[in-house]
Amino acid sequence: MRGEVIFYLNGERKQVSGAFVFEPLSSYLRYEAGLTGTKLVCEEGDCGACTILIGRPGNGRLKYRAINSCIFTLYQADATHVVTVEGLAAGGLHPVQEAMVRCHGAQCGFCTPGFVMAMAGLCEQKKDAMAAERLSSAELRRGLTGNLCRCTGYAPIIEAGQSIDPGQVPALCQLFPEEEMAPALELLSRDALSITHQEKRLDRPADLETAMNCLVQGAVIVNGATDLGVQQNKGRREINWHLSLGCLSELQGVSVQDGVIDAGGLSTWTDMEEVLGGRGEFAGILSVFASPQIKNAGGMAGNIINGSPIADSLPYLMVSDAVLLLASPQGRRELPIRELYRGYKDLDLKKGEILLRIRIPLLADGLLGLYKVSRRRDLDISSFTAAIYVRLDGQTITEARVSLGGVAPVVARQENVERFLAGKPFQRETFLLAGDLAARSIQPLSDVRGSREYRLMLARNTFLRFYLEKSSNASVLQSVR
Ligand X SMILES: Cc1cc2nc3c(=O)[nH]c(=O)nc-3n(C[C@H](O)[C@H](O)[C@H](O)COP(=O)(O)OP(=O)(O)OC[C@H]3O[C@@H](n4cnc5c(N)ncnc54)[C@H](O)[C@@H]3O)c2cc1C
Interface positions with ligand X (CB under 6 A): 44-46, 220-228, 230, 245, 265, 289-290, 294, 297-299, 301-303, 305-306, 311-312, 354-355
Q: Which does 164 bind (CB under 5 to 8 A by kind): ligand FES, ligand X, none?
A: none
Pick between residue 46 and residue 418 the one whose CB is nearest to ligand FES: 46
Interface positions with ligand FES (CB under 6 A)? 40-43, 45-50, 68, 70, 106-112, 149-152
User: What's the min distance (Å) between Cβ of 353 and ligand X?
Assistant: 7
Pick between residue 46 and residue 203 the one whose CB is nearest to ligand X: 46
User: What's the min distance (Å) between Cβ of 356 and ligand X?
Assistant: 7
User: What's the min distance (Å) between Cβ of 20 and ligand FES?
Assistant: 17
User: What's the min distance (Å) between Cβ of 347 and ligand X?
Assistant: 9
Q: Which does 24 bind (CB under 5 to 8 A by kind): ligand FES, ligand X, none?
A: none
The full length of the chain comes to 481
Per the DSSP assignment, residues forming a β-bridge with 355 are: 326
> At 165, which amino acid appears?
D
Pick between residue 121 and residue 205 the one whose CB is nearest to ligand FES: 121
Residue 387 and residue 462 in contact, taking contact as beta carbons nearer than 8 Å = no
User: What's the min distance (Å) between Cβ of 249 and ligand X?
Assistant: 13
Pick between residue 106 and residue 222 the one whose CB is nearest to ligand FES: 106
Q: Which does 83 bind (CB under 5 to 8 A by kind): ligand X, ligand FES, none?
A: none
Q: What are phi and psi of 342, to 5 degrees?
A: -100, -25
Q: Which does 223 bind (CB under 5 to 8 A by kind): ligand FES, ligand X, none?
A: ligand X
Give the angle subtended at the CA of 172 by the CAs of 104 and 251, to the nearest 5°.
115
List, in sequence order, the alpha helices (H) in 268-400.
Answer: 269-276, 281-287, 292-295, 300-306, 314-319
CA quadruple 99, 105, 109, 113: dihedral, nearest 10: -50
From CA 466, how far away is CA 402, in angstroms rounded?
11
Q: Which does 438 bind (CB under 5 to 8 A by kind): ligand FES, ligand X, none?
A: none
Pick between residue 49 and residue 390 the one whose CB is nearest to ligand FES: 49
Q: What are phi and psi of 210, to 5 degrees?
A: -65, -40
Q: Which does 108 bind (CB under 5 to 8 A by kind): ligand X, ligand FES, none?
A: ligand FES
List, in sequence order, the alpha helices (H) in 171-280.
Answer: 172-175, 181-189, 208-216, 228-233, 269-276
Pick between residue 26 and residue 267 the one whose CB is nearest to ligand FES: 26
Pick between residue 127 and residue 449 the one whose CB is nearest to ligand X: 449
Long-range contacts of residues 446-452, Cβ cutoff 8 Å, at least 24 apart:
449/310, 449/374, 449/375, 449/381, 449/382, 449/383, 449/406, 450/375, 450/383, 450/384, 450/406
From CA 293, how far away is CA 141, in angstroms rounded?
14
